[in-house]
Chains A and B, each alone.
Chain A
């Protein structure tokens, strides 16, 4: 793969053609926060936490969907970017009802961890206090819309890895909701195979195993790498 050279935070860095800025940064030990991104799933550019500044561009760009190019000058951690990231997470916390203390994923939640990491000790915005429904119609799993951050990891893993494409999104902006099978109760979905992949990949307590009580839900994600690695080997004609 042809090599390119770019500047990240004043350091000259070499990268391979086709890599995203996020990949290049992480390869060089620069930690950019992400929420919708998960290695192995197609990048979406939805949450905007991975924003970076590009010289010559009037607005920041999401590094998970921006390819590195020769001569780029990138800043990953300016005061402005840090402030934007804080604001984004505060808005997420204000939009739905994240009552961590009574959440199945308390202490194991990516949103909670991200907030602490970014230095958020309170939210400057008014809480919307939207009372959103919970879908507990499926036998083994449940969906609590109050905790959903619309990262769409569930949608992507169900489509691209499980191949069932049970999940989709309805509505726009803050009225968006995850829906199963063209918007019916998850329990009546005929496409869902009950594999639980979406549950394990969900960063918050939005998708969880029934019966889990406060702080009990821990997610297991290593299956994703295993499946993708076997597929890669199979595609190469190796033994899966």
Chain B
């Protein structure tokens, strides 16, 4: 049987979901025969590959770079999974939706110490922010959800095991909570 081509990606999140993925620990070795990790912060691929079976996406869609990558991932993956609360609800990343992008950049880069570039100049060096942070399913079609901040390794394992057996991801009630 060919190995499941797995990709992970990190959009507007804190990397905590990926840390939780690493917390699978020895289980990662156990499933490594059945999986091939083809893209993500944990491997050194520069471009998102074609024909990915499963993509686990951490983080919300916060800037145009996220948006483009997500669309590319959707086009090149059979199954796209919202991985963690930021991807599913916007979570911490979306708390900036209380402010306009301009007010936000001013507060972060100018109200305090430092002299980061403003406006047009800033757009050249900072990734251009979307007006509002969005959960993945408001941008592309999402096939399954693994909630949690971060989702604990048991949830991730439950989802991966289902996928390796060719089943759809269906987490139990206890494994479905946000937060």
Chain A contact residues, CB within 8 Å of chain B: 93, 97-103, 106-107, 109, 112-113, 115-117, 119-123, 126-127, 129, 131, 215
The CA of A127 and the CA of B135, in the complex, are separated in Å by 9
Contact of B98 among A98, A101, A129, A215 (CB under 8 A): A129
Whether B178 contacts A101 by the Cβ 8 Å rule is: yes
Name A99's closest neighbour in chain B (CB-CB).
B91
Known: A98-B178, A101-B179, A119-B176. 17 other contacts (CB 8 A): A99-B91, A99-B95, A100-B179, A101-B85, A101-B91, A107-B179, A109-B179, A112-B177, A116-B174, A121-B147, A122-B135, A122-B137, A123-B89, A127-B90, A127-B94, A127-B97, A129-B132
Whether B178 contacts A127 by the Cβ 8 Å rule is: no
**Which residues 93-136 of B have a CB within 8 angstroms of A?**
94-95, 97-98, 132, 135
A interface secondary structure, majority: loop
Whether A116 contacts B142 by the Cβ 8 Å rule is: no
Closest 9 CB pairs of A and B: A100-B179, A101-B149, A121-B145, A129-B97, A131-B98, A106-B179, A100-B178, A116-B176, A116-B177
B55 at the interface (CB under 8 A from A): no
Measured between beta carbons, the chain B residues less than 8 angstroms from A103 are: 179
Whether B149 contacts A100 by the Cβ 8 Å rule is: yes
Chain B contact residues, CB within 8 Å of chain A: 82, 85, 88-92, 94-95, 97-98, 132, 135, 137-138, 142, 145, 147, 149, 171, 173-174, 176-179
Q: How far is the CB of B134 from chain A (nearest CB, A)?
A: 9
Number of A-B contacts (CB under 8 A): 65
Contact of A100 among B132, B145, B177 (CB under 8 A): B177
Q: How far is the CB of B66 from chain A (nearest CB, A)?
A: 17
Whether A122 contacts B88 by the Cβ 8 Å rule is: yes
Name A117's closest neighbour in chain B (CB-CB).
B173
Name B174's closest neighbour in chain A (CB-CB).
A116
Whether B94 contacts A129 by the Cβ 8 Å rule is: yes
Measured between beta carbons, the chain A residues less than 8 angstroms from B88 are: 121-122
Contact of B92 among A93, A99, A112 (CB under 8 A): A99
Name B148's closest neighbour in chain A (CB-CB).
A101
